[in-house]
Amino acid sequence: MYSFTKSNPKPLFAEDTKLWLIFISAVAGLMIMFSLFLITKSYLYKSDLKEFKQQITQNNLKIKDYTQRVNFIKIEKTLTTKISVNNELLKAGVKNLLDLIPDPITLTNIKIEKNSLYVYGITPSKEVYNILLLPPLKSIFTQTITNFYQMDNGWYRFESINTLKEVDK
């Protein structure tokens, strides 16, 4: 300390400069707040965009999955329809077959496979069988093989194997 007196307080700015500074500071403050608001908004939009992109990716995957499932279901439906048609056809065929069976012949067993029909039964004679049952079977199937086994009472037990050959597409 060199002086006998102390310095008077010195404001950094004059009164009018202070007013200007307050005004400029307020404007700058508002601009900063607005820019912060914009930055936050932009950040939120970017964040939402990222989320939406993820959702789109997930949805695309789901669509792919659903498409696969739809295709599978379509295939299943086709198959079901085909099976149903086949069943209907088979049902009709069996009904027709059963309608074809003449009274003297008794069926003991029928086994139906995809392209073949196994018929077991008892016929009073081979002729009855050959006249009454064989012709309709031959008209349906491409190949018919019949085996007869004579019983004690003179009747015959028969085994008819009928196959249907698929035409190559």
Cβ–Cβ < 8 Å for 109, 152: no
**Residue 120 three-state SS:** strand
Cβ–Cβ < 8 Å for 140, 162: yes
**Applying CB under 8 A, which part among 11-19, 33-41, 111-119, 142-150 lies near other proteins?**
11-19
Q: What pairs with residue 143 in β-bridges?
A: 163
Using the minimum distance from each CB to other proteins, give the nearer residue, 3 or 153: 3
- Looking at residues 47 to 86 of the shown chain, list those that interact with other proteins (rule: CB under 8 A): none
Q: What is the greatest pairwise CA distance in the chain?
A: 156
Buried b (16+ CB within 10 A) or exposed e, 14-42: eeeeeeeeeeeeeeeeeeeeeeeeeeeee
Per rule CB under 8 A, is residue 14 in the interface with other proteins?
A: yes
In angstroms, give the least distance from the CB of 6 to other proteins. Answer: 8
Per rule CB under 8 A, is residue 139 in the interface with other proteins?
A: no
Would you give the distance in Å from CA 118 to the centre of its chain? 36
In angstroms, give the least distance from the CB of 59 to other proteins. Answer: 59
Using the minimum distance from each CB to other proteins, give the nearer residue, 3 or 109: 3
Using the minimum distance from each CB to other proteins, give the nearer residue, 10 or 165: 10
Per rule CB under 8 A, is residue 10 in the interface with other proteins?
A: yes
**Applying CB under 8 A, which part among 2-10, 36-44, 76-84, 108-116 lies near other proteins?**
2-10
Enumerate binding residues for other proteins (CB under 8 A). 1-8, 10-14
